[in-house]
Copies of this chain bind each other. A is one copy, B any other.
Amino acid sequence: MRPGGGTVILTVVQFKEKLAAAVQRNDSLLCVGLDPDPAQMAIEDVAAFNTAIIGATKNLVCAYKPNVAFYEALGRKGWDALERTLEAVPDHIPVIIDAKRGDVGNTAAAYAKAVFDVLGADAMTINPYGGRDSVEPFLERQDKGVFVWCRSSNAGAGDLQDLEVGREGQGRPLWQVVALRARDWNAAGNVGIVVGATYPAQLAEARALCPDMPILIPGVGAQGGAVEEAVKAGIDASGAGIIVSASRGITYASKGPDFAEAARRAALRLRDEINKHRRTAVGAAGPS
Interface, chain A (partner B; CB < 8 A): 35, 67, 69-70, 72-76, 78-80, 83, 98, 100-105, 107-108, 110-111, 113-115, 117-119, 127-134, 149, 152-161, 163-169, 171, 174, 177-178, 181, 218, 223
User: Once bound together, how far apart are the Cα atoms of A218 and B167, in whole Å?
Assistant: 30
> 10 closest A-B pairs (Cβ-Cβ)?
A131-B159, A72-B114, A133-B156, A131-B156, A69-B110, A104-B154, A73-B110, A164-B166, A166-B166, A75-B118
B152 touches A134 (CB 8 A): yes
Q: Which of B76, B158, B161 contacts A80 (CB 8 A)?
A: B76
User: Once bound together, how far apart are the Cα atoms of A16 and B40, in whole Å?
Assistant: 36
Closest CB in chain B relative to A238 CB, distance in Å:
29
A127 touches B104 (CB 8 A): no
User: Once bound together, how far apart are the Cα atoms of A212 and B107, in whole Å?
Assistant: 29
User: Once bound together, how far apart are the Cα atoms of A183 and B128, in whole Å?
Assistant: 22
Query: Given that A100-B127, A127-B102 are known contacts, is A133 also in contact with B114, CB under 8 Å in the complex?
Result: no
Q: Report B-chain residues with C-beta under 8 Å of the C-beta of A118.
A: 72-75
A158 touches B129 (CB 8 A): no
Q: Can you list 30 A-B pairs, Cβ within 8 angstroms, ordered by A?
A: A69-B114, A70-B110, A72-B111, A72-B114, A72-B118, A75-B83, A75-B118, A76-B80, A78-B114, A100-B102, A100-B127, A104-B153, A104-B154, A127-B129, A128-B160, A130-B152, A130-B154, A130-B156, A130-B159, A131-B157, A131-B161, A132-B156, A133-B154, A133-B159, A134-B152, A163-B166, A163-B168, A164-B167, A165-B166, A165-B174
